[in-house]
Structure 1
Amino acid sequence: MDFSQASEDKMKGMKQTMLLCCKIYISETRNKEALDAIERVAKLDPESVIVNKFQDRDYNRVRYTIVSYVAHDSTGCPVYSPLRQTVLSMVEAAYGALNLELHSGAHPRTGIVDDIVCHPLARASLDEAAWLAKSVAAEIGNRFQVPVYLYAAAHPTGKALETIRRELGYYRPNFMGTQWAGCALPEVLPVKPDEGPAQVSRERGVVMVGARPWIATYNVPILSKDVAAAKWIAQMVSARGGGLPTVQTLGLVHGEDSTEIACMLLEPNKYGADLVQKRVEMLAAKEGLEVENGYFTDFSPEMITERYMKFVSANSN
């Protein structure tokens, strides 16, 4: 038997696999014991791979990027992905270890598990990402009795994430004018969730679950404590403020002596980090503020796929 050829054929098959990526945003970075518990359950199934972890202590927020395959039935409909159980296990561990009432940070949030977004990778489609998102959302709502809001391709009408967040007061700090502390939601939600109860657990909050094409997250530090200036710059950079199309921004406190423009690039190949960086620098210069080079908070989809492939290949030998 030609083992080199068999190995090559195996890798070729893997490269043709339909892959899905889940990004899970959890409102915590300072409690190492809790994060360790979440990561332990995430690693129980070797078919789901954590390809990146990004955490920010000032925001008190962590994001896990997890990848696995999706399998189909004879008609081509998605029926299974290891990601489903991995994500649900992480959600359960987070709810068991953390309490939103004890949380505070400089980044907005409405839940301990704040956001779960599914992206298609490799040959997968947005429909498959939406299938996974809706399956995870239904289980969270039913099993954990947490209100769940679907968005983008997972929502029946494609409702935008930022629309739901505005309806729930996500962008309004409730502590010291720049911080989010405890559960700021009313016990009865103003907008009916898509899954789960209409009443909120103060310990868990609510969770957003969506599916969308790949987005990039890019942050630009500003060497100033002037939050009002940072918010103005963020507004002028964003599509909502008449700036760059498909760019969403937040101006946030980031540490004792600086602020930050946190950006979501919905079409990073058209309106990318270079344009954002230049626009922030131009606007900051008008305010006499110094800007540092921005940074991505995750890898590109190509790099994420490559890291997954390398991990699977290494563990199959």
Structure 2
Amino acid sequence: MLKPMLACCKIYISESRNKAALKAIERAAKLCSEARIVNKYEDETYNRVGYTLVSKLRPSSSLDSCPLKDAALAMVATAFKNIDFDTHSGTHPRLGVVDHICFHPLANTSLEQTANVAKSLASDVGKILEVPTYLYGAAHENGRTLDSIRRELGYFSPNIQGNVWAGGLKSQDLPLAPDEGPSQADSSKGVIVIGTTKWVDNYNVPVFSTNISAVRRIAKRVSERGGGLPAVQAMALVHEEGVIEVACNLLDPQLVGGEKVQDEVERLAVEEGMVAVKGYFTDFSRDKIIKMFLEEGN
């Protein structure tokens, strides 16, 4: 008996407070019965929600009828109908109503296969929904990275006073040409970034502080870019009163996992005269997601 080919995509939507919009997005996903949402992570301070959508892939099927792509496209289209980027605000950076989608191979599936799904979705988002779309990772011909796109589009700089991102993009004109869709952005929708990579864990460590500059120093020293832990990306984000999080992408969890990041943030926090508390993952592990999907399907 052939083992099932499984893949997932993580869909990050710039909204967590509009419950009616989220319910509509979730209903749209359910219209494709072969794909299932196995995790939903909401953060009201960040005003952001992350969905983990999983489906089997068909080895010889056309991408025109791929359940994972179809469900993702339905969720994206519904998000654009129900959320106005111009009225959005939160303490997490974002580039659009649907900020980011990343495909990951899970079981018996290759990176190339998930890249093909990502590229097909990006084409539909660009042509059908008419939203500027950027590709990264294995979905991009040169393997462009997610953070490089974000830096060129100003993702990491709060766009109003303080540490808050609010409203749509400052200009319809984009400093980086999209891979799909129009060359200008509708401020009510923004842009979307779609890619595919090996599995990534997201791990956030709260630090008791109001000194964003100091916690940014910690985040930089934790990240590979700042000479810290390999395969770790990190940024400092105001989360709640008196708490700033070091939000980390663990690009190779087998090499550097949450425990190593936790230890390093705690050590650096002490050097800054601060206290870091136990962090948390925003999703289940890859193995847990596979198990949950297969068990729920029985």
- Is the structural similarity TM-score above 0.5? yes
SS class of match (1:218): strand
SS class of match (2:269): helix
Match of 1:107 in 2: 92
AA aligned to 1:167 is E
Match of 2:206 in 1: 221
AA aligned to 1:42 is A
How far apart in 2 are the matches of 1:97 and 1:254?
A: 25
How far apart in 1 are the matches of 2:254 and 2:138?
A: 20
Match of 1:63 in 2: 50
Is 1:37 paired with 2:24? yes
2:235 to 222, 247, 250: 250
SS class of match (1:225): coil
SS class of match (1:96): helix
CA deviation string 1:72-94 (max 9, x = no partner): 229xx877420111111101110
Matching of residues 273-292 of structure 1 within 5 Å: 273-292=258-277
How far apart in 2 are the matches of 1:117 and 1:218?
A: 16
How far apart in 1 are the matches of 2:202 and 2:124?
A: 28
CA deviation string 1:96-139 (max 9, x = no partner): 00011000000000000000100001100001110110000000
AA aligned to 1:54 is Y
SS class of match (2:75): helix
Is 1:49 paired with 2:39? no
What is the CA distance between 1:184 and its match in structure 2? 2.9
8 A contact 1:223–1:259 mirrored in 2: yes
AA aligned to 1:256 is E
How far apart in 1 are the matches of 2:231 and 2:169?
A: 28
- Superposed CA RMSD in Å reads 1.3
8 A contact 2:177–2:183 mirrored in 1: yes
How far apart in 1 are the matches of 2:55 and 2:172?
A: 36
SS class of match (2:255): coil
Structure 1 unmatched runs, 5+: 1-11
How far apart in 2 are the matches of 1:80 and 1:31?
A: 31
1:239 to 214, 224, 228: 224
**Structure 1 residue ranges (4+ consecutive) displaced by more than 4 angstroms after TM superposition:** 77-80
How far apart in 2 are the matches of 1:73 and 1:305?
A: 22
What is the CA distance between 1:312 and its match in structure 2? 0.9
SS class of match (1:219): strand
SS class of match (1:69): strand
Structure 2 unmatched runs, 5+: none
How many corresponding residue pairs? 298
How far apart in 2 are the matches of 1:239 and 1:86?
A: 35
2:73 to 76, 84, 88: 88
What TM-score results when the alignment is normalised by the length of structure 1? Answer: 0.92
Larger-gyration structure (1/2)? 1
Is 1:158 paired with 2:143? yes
How far apart in 2 are the matches of 1:249 and 1:80?
A: 37
1:306 to 271, 276, 291: 291
Is 1:145 paired with 2:130? yes
8 A contact 2:237–2:246 mirrored in 1: yes
1:210 to 192, 195, 213: 195
How far apart in 2 are the matches of 1:151 and 1:196?
A: 15
CA deviation string 1:160-214 (max 9, x = no partner): 0100100000000012220100113421111110000110100000000000000
AA aligned to 2:197 is R
What is the CA distance between 1:230 and its match in structure 2? 1.2
SS class of match (1:184): coil
CA deviation string 1:222-264 (max 9, x = no partner): 1112111111110110011111111000101001121100000
How far apart in 2 are the matches of 1:280 and 1:226?
A: 15
Match of 1:198 in 2: 183
What TM-score results when the alignment is normalised by the length of structure 2? Answer: 0.97
AA aligned to 2:258 is A
AA aligned to 2:270 is A
